[in-house]
Structure 1
Amino acid sequence: MALRSARTAVLALAVVAAGCSTGGHGRVAAPPAVSPSAPAAGGGTVSATPSPGSSDELRVIRPRGTPSPRPYGRWGRPVLYDDFGGARLDPRKWQVYDAPNARSHPGSPAGVHVADGRLRLVGGLYGGRDQSAGVVSRLAQTYGRWEARIRADRGSGYSATAFLWPTRLGSPEWAEIDFAEIIDGTRRTGGLFIHHGAQDRQLSKIARVDFTRWHTVAVDWLPAKLRFWVDGEVVWDYQGPYVPKQADMHLNLRNETADGFHRMASTPQRVTMEVDWVRVFRAPAGRR
């Protein structure tokens, strides 16, 4: 559902514009780590998307508050933490998505703002054209836990997303993990997606959550399992052949427009996705 083939080329373009290099066809070279302690590091489609009212439909309503960067249970201390408390985006931790002229998934740096302790990704009409707004973590790692507290304004044609994307798609493997892909213009549902393989095989679930309100989304990625969370509740455990085994993943936060996403008469000129905080952990010792 994430239109991966189009994202591949545009992500490479965006990182080049931010000052990083690419290696090979549509592959993004690894950016510098966020800190010395952070790691530098056959066809067809399978869909597990449930229909409304089915037993696979997910219902989660319990909110959580803002965390501190202290050690967190078995996951230890975060290797990336940001509560967006400054006056601007921290360039040691993030790169801005910059691809305003891309044919698919265009994105403008003009939509990225930090104020009042929040990251605001403002997609909308810039120069008469719909543009995404997003950031990419400089930290990449294989296995771990990613958390973000997010909300999104209503607006058809925009998808509020939190997803993991490899440094080099297809080398050593094809993989993508979306732990929030809020395509629904009303923001009453959010998609969870696992993408695997050159043919972009997919598994998915739908969480029935009102994302106009604040919710904490998270994913645990371990060698044999993906576990998805909303507001501290496990909403999907997956153990199977689509679990990535080798890729080093960057966190992407993006308020996204793309081919197939269509503005309606009711869509505001600007549509905002907000991020309150982000935490990233390494996998516990013995689980990497």
Structure 2
Amino acid sequence: MPMALRFARTAVLALAIAAAGCSSGGRGPIAAPPTMAPSGPAADDGTAAPTPAPSVSDELRTTRPSGAPSARAYGRWGRPVLYDDFGSDRLDPRKWQVYDAPNALSHPGSPAGVHVANGRLRLVGGLYDGKDQSAGVVSRLAQTYGRWEARIRADRGSGYSATAFLWPTRLGAPEFAEIDFAEIIDGTRRTGGLFIHHGADDRQLAKIARVDFTRWHTVAVDWLPQKLTFWVDGKAVWTYEGPYVPKQADMHLNLRNETADGFHRMADTPQRVTMEVDWIRVFRAPGINR
């Protein structure tokens, strides 16, 4: 994300979370919420074999969701500390905060665009009362290190970016960190950006994943003390080991279908543009008590 958009996002997220009834500290958008206990469907009793690592398959390329994974143990990552298959008829307020900043000058966002139905979270950005509005949610869980997974797709629509990213409780010295494991700015949804942000001057590293995000894909990031690994459909598409790996921030999962300064609606952009989420899982990093 360009620096101007990134720091505009900081201010607007702070306003949005404040409107939702949560305070903000420093330059960061979100005051630290309570750490959540493991959630989702009942886990297996531990006698079953761990869930195998996801792999690229025809099933993962279908235009329909493959069905949510269970909340049982997943290889070396163990059991998820946050799990949601959006199987209820409403968003679980114990797990999520809704992005609420309809009058923001940059990154405006309306709760009217957040819907849960038929086992999916639908984030519907578009024209509300004649104004382009983002739609998004923020996990109440924040942690340092771990694994984050989301199964997503997005409608075509220039001017909207379907995103899954990690954003710190407090965006400030010494790291100013952000990890984007899907930032689908391309209006055709034929490519998705992977970004690592670091430092007050917003130094960035980036890769492009050439994937058709109008279809369902599973995106993930592993964040460990010395390494970041980005995944698409079970395939590692970028591994980074270097000084931009965050080491102090505690991060929240953000799912956003967003518009912002610098994103422009085109003549063929639909009135409403939808990003869908089939399921998410978040894991603690094995052997790290943070």
- TM-score, normalization by structure 1: 0.89
1:206-285 matches, within 5 Å, as 206-285=208-287
TM-superposed CA distance for 1:67, in Å, is 1.2
TM-superposed CA distance for 1:33, in Å, is 2.4
Structure-1 residue corresponding to 2:34: 32
Q: What is the CA–CA distance in structure 1 between the aligned matches of 2:195 and 2:130, rounded to whole Å?
A: 31
TM-superposed CA distance for 1:23, in Å, is 2.1
TM-superposed CA distance for 1:261, in Å, is 0.3
Is 1:134 the counterpart of 2:141 in the alignment? Answer: no
Q: Which runs of 5+ in 2 are unaligned?
A: 40-55, 61-65
1:75–1:156 distance in 2 versus 1, CA, 3 Å: same
Structure-2 residue corresponding to 1:67: 69
1:269–1:27 distance in 2 versus 1, CA, 3 Å: closer
**Other structure's SS at 1:181 match:** strand
1:208–1:27 distance in 2 versus 1, CA, 3 Å: closer
1:149 alignment partner, one of 142, 148, 151: 151
Residues 193 and 205, structure 1, Cα contact 8 Å, conserved in 2:
yes
What are the Cα deviations for residues 135-181 of structure 1, in whole angstroms up to 9, with x where unaligned? 00000000000000000000000000000000000145210000000
Residues 145 and 283, structure 1, Cα contact 8 Å, conserved in 2:
yes
TM-superposed CA distance for 1:22, in Å, is 1.4
Residues 172 and 247, structure 1, Cα contact 8 Å, conserved in 2:
no
Residues 62 and 231, structure 1, Cα contact 8 Å, conserved in 2:
no
1:286–1:111 distance in 2 versus 1, CA, 3 Å: closer
1:242–1:203 distance in 2 versus 1, CA, 3 Å: same
**Other structure's SS at 2:12 match:** helix
Is 1:159 the counterpart of 2:161 in the alignment? Answer: yes
TM-superposed CA distance for 1:24, in Å, is 2.9
TM-superposed CA distance for 1:29, in Å, is 1.1
RMSD across aligned positions (CA):
1.6
State, as a whole percentage, how many aligned pairs show the same letter: 85
**Other structure's SS at 2:267 match:** coil
Q: What is the CA–CA distance in structure 2 between the aligned matches of 1:86 and 1:112, rounded to whole Å?
A: 14
Q: What is the CA–CA distance in structure 2 between the aligned matches of 1:136 and 1:277, rounded to whole Å?
A: 14
**Other structure's SS at 2:126 match:** strand
Q: Which runs of 5+ in 1 are unaligned?
A: 38-59
**Other structure's SS at 1:157 match:** coil
Residues 63 and 231, structure 1, Cα contact 8 Å, conserved in 2:
no
Q: What is the CA–CA distance in structure 2 between the aligned matches of 1:238 and 1:26, rounded to whole Å?
A: 25
Q: What is the CA–CA distance in structure 1 between the aligned matches of 2:141 and 2:16, rounded to whole Å?
A: 16
Residues 28 and 172, structure 2, Cα contact 8 Å, conserved in 1:
no
- TM-score, normalization by structure 2: 0.88
Q: What is the CA–CA distance in structure 2 between the aligned matches of 1:287 and 1:242, rounded to whole Å?
A: 21
Structure-2 residue corresponding to 1:179: 181
Structure-1 residue corresponding to 2:18: 16
Which one-letter code corresponds to 1:167 in the other structure?
A: T
Structure-1 residue corresponding to 2:51: none
